[in-house]
A and B are shown apart, each in its own frame.
Chain A
Amino acid sequence: MDVITLEWWQLGLAAAMVVALSACTVVARLGVGRSLLIAAVRTAVQLTLIGLVLEALFASSRFQWVALMALAMVLIAGREVMTRQQRRLSGGWAFGIGTLAMFLSSFSVTVLTLTVIVGPTPWYAPQYAIPLLGMLLGNTMTGVSLAMDRLTTGVWQQRSVIENRLMLGQPWQEAISDVRREAMRSGMIPTINAMAAAGVVSLPGMMTGQILAGSPPALAVKYQILIMFTITAGTGFGTLAAVAAGSRRLFDHRERLRLDRLHSPKSHGR
């Protein structure tokens, strides 16, 4: 069964709906018309570009190009994690810890899934590797950035409590345990919620896509379950690593709380 091809003019019709919506908000003076249009243009341009990149990648199928693409993806995700934190660790640690945590978890889970579970030939076949890594990275990024943000702001807010616990002779792991638990929780909640609501409230995007592309629903469901589990493992291990490394960095070799290792938040921006 072939997918019905989409023509540019057909996309234009969908775009017209967005333009109509933005016109309505301008008329009603709701102040979102402009950003709506900009975001719509960004989507079109970014996805078109990535489409070209993927076509080239699929055509060549060389390992080094797939690896380069994967590396670029993880670096961009690392930057995104950093900018999403209000009080980030200074000296490149915010970027370093986030990127390394995502690299370790997303890459190992992706490689494991490709080689052991799905098994395409070659194992790095870009048609499988890149979408899988992309979905994993996207979710891991959300988890890691939420957890790191919660960790650093939590430590800042509870600095007196943490120090008082240190004064009573508690090891740093114990003094920071409440904040660490909170951080881990906020990193994992979106994934847990997504798993709980899958199929009941929301039809996951990948499954929908496969069904639209003509796969039998039973196969699409299997793939979706596989993806859900790998996303959970990737996000969980990434968040775990980031929270562990981040909270270690907040204390020095004498187990002192070192808030001077945090940047103060910018007055504006994200």
Chain B
Amino acid sequence: MPAAPDLNKAMPLSLEGVAIGALEDISLCLAPGEITCLSGVSGSGKSRLLRAIADLEPHEGEIRLGHQPQTALTGHAWRQTVMLVPAESQWWAEDVGAHFTHDCREGLAALDLSPETLDWPVDRLSSGEKQRLALLRALSRRPQALLLDEPTANLDHTTTLACEAWLVEQARQHGMPVLWVAHDPEQIKRVARHHVRITGSRLEAASWT
């Protein structure tokens, strides 16, 4: 990212009594610059919780970024600030570059992608490249909080490590609170400051083992 980080904007993301689907009364506070991992068996509602935080689905409870409640912003302004990167990214234009509205050259190198990638047609991308470009596409829009749904699912080990390092650095540098859905205990150990797990309809702090 070219511009200097604006740490004055760093704000915690907090959830209070959020309910969506089977989940009830979820409360959580994500500190700026820190990564919290979210795990749980498949179908337990991890993705839906992220969708509720991004306000893509009707839900109950209060979600705030700093002092600002979700409802104080319009839907798109909120999602621009609290950005969700889904497990499977979608591409609507023919060329990769058309999906980028901001400069992202530095990120390309950090994610082990060549600068020409932006001129490629989307069809040419592998699933791993798509996943990294989706992360870059989201982060280049400068959100203030980040929701990641299995961001390294399609990556090999080396690329996973590079991607993790970049995300950790981005979170720290821009003071973004990050909620990261992950399965791999090793990955959780590497990136997370905190770890919460969905059990039934609740969220529990997971112990480090």
Contact = CB atoms under 8 A, between A and B. Distances in A.
A255 B71 CA distance: 12
A171 B75 CA distance: 8
B79 A168 contact: yes
A164 B76 contact: no
A167 B56 contact: yes
A220 interface: no
Interface stretch (B30-38, B82-90, B173-181): B82-90
Interface string B118-133: 0000000000000000
A166 B80 contact: no
Closest 7 pairs (CB-CB, A-B):
A169-B80, A255-B75, A164-B90, A254-B75, A161-B90, A171-B76, A167-B84
B75 A172 contact: yes
B138 A168 contact: yes
Which of A164, A167, A255 lies at the interface centre, i.e. has the most chain B CB atoms within 10 A of its CB? Answer: A167
B141 interface: yes
- Secondary structure at the B interface, as helix, strand, loop or mixed, is loop
B96 interface: no
Contacts of A253: 75
Nearest to B56: A256
A262 to B, nearest CB: 16
Interface of A: 158, 160-161, 163-172, 178, 252-257
Given A168-B79, A169-B141, A252-B58, 17 more contacts: A160-B90, A163-B56, A164-B90, A166-B56, A167-B56, A167-B86, A168-B138, A169-B77, A169-B81, A169-B143, A171-B74, A253-B75, A254-B58, A254-B74, A256-B55, A256-B56, A256-B57
Contact of B86 (A164, A170, A171, A252): A164
Contact of B92 (A161, A172, A256): A161
A166 B90 contact: no
Nearest to B70: A254
Nearest to B55: A254
A172 B85 CA distance: 18
